[in-house]
Amino acid sequence: MSKEIYNCAIQCGFDNCGIISVNALNGFEELYQKRISDVPQSKFFYDNVGDLQGTKERFPWAKSIVILTFNYGKYCYPKELQGKYAKAFFLQPHKNSDFGFDLQRFEQWFVEHEIHAEGGEQFHHHSVGPLRYIAAKAGLGIIRKNNFFYTENGSYNMLIGYVIDKEYELIQNTHVIPCGEKCDLCQRACKTKALQSQYTIDPLKCVSYWTTFGNSDIPQGLSPEMFEEWVCGCDNCQDACPHNIRHDWNAGKHFSNLKEIAPMILPRNYENLSDEFLIEQVISKTADHLQVSDVQALRKNAERSLNYQQIKPKNK
Ligand code: B12
Ligand code: SF4
Ligand code: SF4
């Protein structure tokens, strides 16, 4: 049956699929507590993200977790958007289309086979648990020092998880070589020092947080130039990594109508764009990281990006 779930996942457009027992989550609690002790200020943050370490309590009937990867790093990303909009947002898979996967079909398969499944997009950001940890345990790849989950294709992959009421297991055997012992390129690329040491992040220093959920504020200790030209999200710690095999984003598979939209949503054009346009062409693409009520925050991000363009060093 595990193999059949895998086959269905591939047919639905995913790149890989693994299945672990819910008991394999036991090790996460220790890592989570270490994180809280290393970065105590992040406790408040994670308390609000949802009960990521409480999968067993939330789903007492669950026996296993199915984890899926979708590699959006195969697409071309318009040059104009690079360094401004995170690729995870604008290359967000279009559901049930040529540019994504078919979640509906995957979930229908569970129903047809009398497997009770919960997850997918049902819980939004909260999801069924710590997806990166689950993916690593399922053998789909490894977690690197920048905290990202990497397959052989790198970190530009999206994770989707389901808890199911059957006891299955499918541990994949991928060959991903670990980080070089001395490498700290990701830490050095992080201008706000959110990556203060390896395998750790202070989410309250992360540009991706402040340009999305953080209402475009700049907290004490950070300054506007640290945000460089990022309007929404940040890819610095992934782009700096030698294990991200894609460095030329101008090549790759065509993705939807992004090429046509890209020149329109440059920060310098924001003053001529209506709120409705920004909601339709930017906010709707941020996977719920920005809401309709965040239009003014988005404009503030664009203004900061524009200001940085004027003061940035010539070699950037
Ligand atoms: C909250 C959240 C955020 C927050 C906080 C991020 C953070 N790292 O703390 C904010 C809003 C800042 C954020 C931003 C982004 N996010 Co986010 N985010 C999440 C979410 C919903 C929960 C993550 C979380 O809080 N985990 C709790 C912390 C304590 O644990 P953890 O980060 O999972 O880390 C554990 C592992 O690293 C593990 N671990 C450490 N060492 C080792 C070693 C081994 C061997 C093992 C097995 C495990 C292990 O222990 C850690 C616990 O300390 C997940 C989805 C999910 N449900 O997992 C997406 C998720 C992590 N985000 C994702 C993405 C793409 C992003 C952005 C890149 C978007 C963008 N481009 O701007 C940014 C990048 C910021 C960054 N540098 O992390 C992807 C990452 C995909 C990947 N390949 O890794 C996820 C998985 C969403 C998804 N469904 O695909 N995000
Ligand atoms: S996403 Fe940007 S700000 Fe956040 S940890 Fe990575 S480099 Fe630092
Ligand atoms: S930049 Fe270096 S240390 Fe950071 S994740 Fe990549 S290989 Fe690991």
What are the pLDDT tens digits along the chain (316 aa)? 999 999 999 999 999 999 999 999 999 999 999 999 999 998 888 887 778 889 999 999 999 999 999 999 999 999 999 999 999 999 988 876 778 899 999 999 999 999 999 999 998 878 999 999 999 999 999 999 999 999 999 999 999 999 999 999 999 999 999 999 999 999 999 999 999 899 999 999 999 999 999 999 999 999 999 999 999 999 999 999 999 977 789 888 999 889 999 999 999 999 999 999 999 999 999 999 999 999 999 999 999 999 999 988 877 6
Residue located nearest, by CA, to atom 1 of ligand 2? 234
259 CA → ligand 1 middle, Å: 28
- Report pTM: 0.96
Structural domain spans, the chain: 2-164
Q: Is the CB of 128 under 6 A from ligand 1?
A: no
Q: Is the CB of 189 under 6 A from ligand 2?
A: yes
Q: Is the CB of 192 under 6 A from ligand 2?
A: yes
Instruction: Kindly state the DSSP code that residue 160 receives in the 8-state scheme.
Output: E
Dihedral of alpha carbons 43, 47, 50, 51, sign: positive
Dihedral of alpha carbons 96, 99, 101, 103, sign: negative
Return the percent helix, strand and coil in the chain, to nearest 5: 40, 10, 45
Instruction: Compute the radius of gyration of the chain from its Cα atoms.
Output: 20
CATH number of 2-164: 3.40.109
Residue located nearest, by CA, to atom 8 of ligand 3? 179
Residue located nearest, by CA, to atom 24 of ligand 1? 130
